[in-house]
């Protein structure tokens, strides 16, 4: 699978860094690193192109195709992350040039892809018979029957986080990442919650999520009726609590109910 990134800021760089698995990418354990990410490997060879668009632009861009890459590579999936919405509107032009089979547009800030633009792109990409996903935030991406997008989630093990933990009495003794948030934060959270007591697990998860840090917007989003950052926080908390529930069943542990 060949991935083509068009990025406009730090979040896109985090996603690429996670997939490439740079040696210094995660600093959860500092000098006491347990090298948990070695098992993930590196998908650098699957990234066929990265175009960085960081120039300051006007609020309204006429002829956005002038600012898009002139010779984009052939690819399976295009991932435009954090680019100007007027450039995003010209996405079908890139689909034609790249023969892409799918487009994934993460929304970490509601201004990246307003609802009307999303609906327009969904309709245009459907005409091209191209799979598309607009996860808000990116860590909400999950399998939903779109073949190429589902293959992306399975192969790169990124999307809505899935963690496994092993409990010892009322503490998390060890943790494993089965699927990470695309930015890589799940690896950080998994190490930060080790040795946490069950009474403190939600706060420990929240602290780790903010400590990574999550770069999702703190602006209120009318669609979510909350901020995108808070939505991301709920997602990782759910992943950890689900992991604890599965561990209790697997290990035959009954935790005391919270008062």
pLDDT digits (tens, 9 = 90+) for 141-193: 999 999 999 999 999 999 999 999 999 988 999 999 999 999 999 999 999 99
Tell me the mean pLDDT in the region 61-76: 85
Give the torsion through C-alpha atoms of 68, 70, 76, 80, to 10 deg.
Answer: -10
Question: Mean pLDDT over residues 230-236, rounded?
Answer: 97
What is the structure's pLDDT at 58?
58
Average of per-residue pLDDT across 68-83 = 94
* pLDDT at position 9: 83
Mean pLDDT of 3-9: 94
Is 170 within 8 Å of 188 (Cβ atoms)?
no
Q: What is the pLDDT of residues 187-232, one digit of tens each?
A: 999 999 999 998 899 999 999 999 998 889 999 999 999 999 999 9
Considering the chain, what is the average pLDDT of its residues?
A: 92
3-class state of residue 161 by DSSP: coil
- The pLDDT of residue 247 is 94
pLDDT of residue 169: 85
What are the domain boundaries of the chain? 3-156, 162-251
List of residues 6+ apart from 94 with CB closer than 8 A: 6, 68, 69, 72, 78, 100
Give the count of alpha carbons within 13 A of 174, CB side only: 4
Return the minimum-mean-pLDDT range out of 13-17, 163-167, 210-214, 234-238.
210-214
Tell me: pLDDT of 77 over 70: yes
pLDDT of residue 31 exceeding 90? no
Q: What pLDDT is attached to residue 256?
A: 74
Rounded to 5 degrees, what are φ and ψ at 94? Answer: -70, -35
More confident residue, 56 or 128: 128
With a cut of 80, say whether residue 62 has pLDDT above it: no
- Which whole-number Å values give the CA distances from 220 to 108, 189, 251, in the listed order? 12, 25, 41
What is the reported pTM? 0.93
**Check: CATH 3.40.50 for 3-156?**
yes
pLDDT tops 70 at residue 57: no
Assess whether pLDDT exceeds 90 at residue 241.
Answer: yes
CA separation for the pair 113, 108 (Å, rounded): 9
């Amino acid at each position: 699978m060949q991935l083509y990134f068009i990025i406009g800021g730090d979040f896109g760089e985090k996603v690429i860094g996670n997939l490439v698995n740079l040696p210094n990418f995660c600093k959860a354990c500092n000098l006491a690193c347990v090298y948990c990410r070695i098992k993930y490997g590196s998908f650098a060879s699957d990234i066929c192109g990265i175009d960085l668009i960081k120039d300051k632009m006007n609020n309204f861009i006429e002829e956005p195709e002038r600012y898009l890459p002139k010779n984009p590579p052939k690819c399976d999936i295009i991932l435009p992350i954090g680019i100007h919405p007027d450039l995003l509107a010209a996405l079908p032009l890139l689909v034609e040039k790249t023969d892409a089979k799918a487009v994934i547009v993460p929304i970490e800030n509601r201004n990246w892809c307003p609802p009307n633009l999303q609906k327009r792109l969904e309709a245009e990409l459907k005409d091209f018979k191209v799979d598309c996903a607009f996860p808000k935030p990116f860590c909400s991406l999950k399998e939903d029957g779109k073949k190429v997008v589902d293959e992306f989630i399975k192969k790169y093990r990124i999307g809505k986080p899935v963690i496994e933990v092993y409990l010892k009495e009322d503490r998390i003794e060890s943790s494993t990442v089965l699927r990470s948030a695309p930015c890589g934060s799940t690896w950080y959270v998994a190490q930060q919650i080790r040795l946490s007591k069950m009474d403190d697990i939600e706060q420990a998860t929240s602290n780790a999520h903010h400590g990574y840090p999550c770069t999702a917007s703190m602006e209120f989003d009318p669609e979510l009726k909350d901020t995108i950052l808070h939505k991301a926080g709920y997602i990782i908390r759910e992943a950890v609590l689900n992991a604890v529930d599965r561990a209790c069943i697997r290990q035959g542990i009954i935790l005391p109910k919270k008062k």
